[in-house]
Amino acid sequence: MGRYILKRIGYMCITFYVVITLTFLSMKMLPGTPFQNPKLTPTQINQLKHYYGLDQPIAVQYVKYMWNLLHGDMGGSFQFGNESVTALLMNKFPVSLDLGLEAIILGAVIGLLLGIIAGLHHGKAMDWSTMIFAAIGTSIPSFIFAGVLQYFLGVYVRAFPVAGWNGPSYHFLPVVSLAVGVVAEIALFMRTEMVEVINQDYIVTAQAKGLSRFTVVYKHAIRNALIPVVTILGPLTAAIITGSLVIENIFGIPGIGSQYVSSIVTNDYPMIMGTTELYAGLFILSIFVVDILYGVIDPRIRVSGGQA
Amino acid sequence: MSKLLEIKNLSVHFNLIGRHVQAVRGVDLDLNEGETLAIVGESGSGKSVTSKAIMGLIPNPPGEIVKGSSILFEGKDLVSYTEKQLEKVRGKEISMIFQDPMTALNPTMKIGKQIMEGLIKHQGMSKHDARNRAIELLKLVGIPKPEVRVDEYPHQFSGGMRQRVVIAIALACNPKVLIADEPTTALDVTIQAQILDLMRDLQKKTKTAIILITHDLGVVANMAQRVAVMYGGKVVETGMIDEIFYNPKHPYTWGLLSSMPKLHATTDKLLAIPGSPPDLANPPKGCPFAARCPYAMKVCTDHMPEYTELSSTQKAACWLLDERAPKVDPPETIGVGGTKNG
């Protein structure tokens, strides 16, 4: 197992390196410069370019950037007065992480429950209603829900604050808006798996032992149905944490999303790189965690566990 | 020997979309203590459905056991049992071995735990005792190093070994009846023999009555004392093993025996019964075999024949046995001893 993890970490580093390099190169192909203020004269722009090393060949810039990155230095943001990118990210990221994790946990728990119940009632009303809900949840984007929730629960009923991020009551609307899609996706997936697992021979074996329906479902069906669901959970988590950009904008949440967008618009190179690295790192890490979890749940893929 | 299990007039129907399939149509069977009864017949004859009905494992919907059916186990009617009552019978009084050992075990649960579940549920054993018993059972079914293998997962076992585990699970609580639904069909021939030997040995030790469901007459000859031949959801002939092999009376039984490949056959041809089994969504009014029967008469397609008692143990449902019917000799090809009955 240790060797497997080491090997995986090696691959993760390679993936991470490729992502950084590709981002760096494609970023350099973006039109425009970071210095778009019309008041700047061409000499001033050239001075700034020289100051930030942007007049050097891309290869040199790349090597310099990578060298600094290796030493933990992501550089300073162009748009926020040369403030360190690391500090900016660390400042805003916890908010996005908080929002994303709350949404994924809420979404996964409800989604799994709905999926299990629907799967057990395959072909009945409970199944159909879950399917319809899931279809709606996956096809309507989260910002529509956000608007609807804001209007009814925020403006009309006044149960929750419409926007902001100043305490638990502020979390409800954005978390729910984000979670709807997660619930739908996981419920749909879990339902399909449950229907398949319930028809497996080993479920009949379990029933033939005289186990109660609850035990059969709880001990034999759910664990097996969970295996494929875990695979989507990792990327989904990463996507929710990093993809809550629109929701952050709608609810005025001081997360990393709006900062990312403005950094692209203003060609804030170090900020673009930093945010991408954070996202990519999260994504790669989540897939790694899923693979490890996969082995914990499914003994057949416990990679070179050594006990075979 | 007293009757352990008595199935009377069992009918099982399935309500599928646009089709109402009558999979089992009025089956009567009984099982004595300690004996082995083989149920033979081709796919779709209703033998597996019959066994699932005994276990109360007919999925409802779409399946249902039709009113008027009864399955008496030690005098009590299992058909009237609630799910909770059935749980106390399954695995404890009646248990089951399945056809495909590759899929019959939960891939994410340790072998030992899968054996222990029934012990804990039915015998109230502690985890520790159940584990020791599981190791004992694994030893009993011939698994080497049981104390190590008890903690392994199904994928670490071969097909034959898995079937041994399935047998260990089934025998865990010393059931009175063991239903083996084609227990060797999915195994290769050498393993088949081992598993059958094992079942025979265990039966001697435990005195469990076995219902053996199979389409392999070779297995029947090796294992069973009595045979029930099923066709089209009905039992067409039952008898002691000698009666069925040496003095079969139903043309379908003749066909089955003829289609058994023989070692010393004079022809290279494998004999088959031409035609296909009846559609049980629209079961024939008369004898279900009439359409494929070379001896069919007009009466056969119109009226289902009653059973004719041929001895205290053998009976068959065939119009040829009616006194008004022409006398017909069974074909030579049934091989084992068909000419003996003249």
Intra-chain end-to-end CA distance of chain B, in Å: 33
pLDDT value at residue A308 = 36
Contact A201/B104, CB-based, under 8 Å?
Answer: yes
Intra-chain end-to-end CA distance of chain A, in Å: 13
Give the side-chain half-sphere CA count within 13 A for B276. 4
Q: Measure A146 CA to nearest chain B CA, in Å.
A: 40
pLDDT value at residue B274 = 83
What residue ranges define each of the domains in chain A, with the CATH number in brackets?
85-301 (1.10.3720.10)
Mind listing the pLDDT tens digit for each residue in A62-118? Answer: 999 999 999 988 888 888 788 899 998 998 889 988 999 999 999 999 999 999 999
Mind listing the pLDDT tens digit for each residue in B322-336? Answer: 888 888 888 877 765
What is the length of chain B? Answer: 342
Average pLDDT, integer, range B224-250: 93
Find the CB nearest A200 among B103, B114, B121. Answer: B103
Contact A210/B91, CB-based, under 8 Å?
Answer: yes
Q: Measure A212 CA to nearest chain B CA, in Å.
A: 7
- Give φ, ψ of A30 to 5 degrees: -60, 140
What residues of chain B lie within 8 A of the CB of A215, using their CB? 117, 121
Alpha-helix residue ranges (DSSP H) falling in A71-167: 85-120, 125-139, 142-149
Q: List, in sequence order, every residue forming a beta bridge with B90; answer none if it has no partner.
A: B94
Domain with CATH 3.40.50.300 in chain B: 3-224
CB atoms within 10 A of CB A59: 8
Provide the ipTM. 0.84
Q: Report residue B132 as tokens.
A: 């020791």
Find the CB nearest A209 among B103, B117, B153. Answer: B117
Q: Measure A227 CA to nearest chain B CA, in Å.
A: 10
pLDDT value at residue B133 = 93
User: Does A166 contact B at CB distance below 8 Å?
Assistant: no
Mind listing the pLDDT tens digit for each residue in B82-92? Answer: 989 999 999 99
Would the pLDDT of B337 be above 50? no
What confidence category does residue B342 fall into, taking pLDDT thresholds of 50, 70 and 90?
very low
- Dist CA B306 CA A57 (whole Å): 99
What residues of chain B lie within 8 A of the CB of A204, using their CB? 57, 98, 104
Mind listing the pLDDT tens digit for each residue in B163-192? Answer: 999 999 998 898 999 999 988 888 888 888
E strand intervals along B41-93: 63-65, 70-73, 76-77
Average pLDDT, integer, range B294-319: 90
What residues of chain A lie within 8 A of the CB of B92, using their CB? 210
- B12 exposed, middle or buried (CB, 10 Å; 0-12, 13-18, 19+)? buried
A 225-254 residues with CB below 8 A of B?
Answer: 227
Query: B3-224 in CATH: which number?
Result: 3.40.50.300
User: Does B125 contact A at CB distance below 8 Å?
Assistant: no
pLDDT value at residue B213 = 93
Cα–Cα distances in angstroms (integers) from residue B268 to residues A123, A299, B130, B272, in the given order: 50, 48, 53, 13
Chain A residue with minimal CA distance to B154?
A300
What confidence category does residue A302 fall into, taking pLDDT thresholds of 50, 70 and 90?
low
Mind listing the pLDDT tens digit for each residue in A226-240? Answer: 988 888 888 888 888
Q: Quote the Cα angle for A81-A82-A87, to 5°.
A: 105
pLDDT value at residue B265 = 64
Give the whole-number percent of chain A exceeding pLDDT 70.
Answer: 97
**Bond preceding residue B62 cis, omega within 30 of 0:** yes
pLDDT value at residue A185 = 92
- Give φ, ψ of A22 to 5 degrees: -65, -40
Q: Report residue B243 as tokens.
A: 């009666």
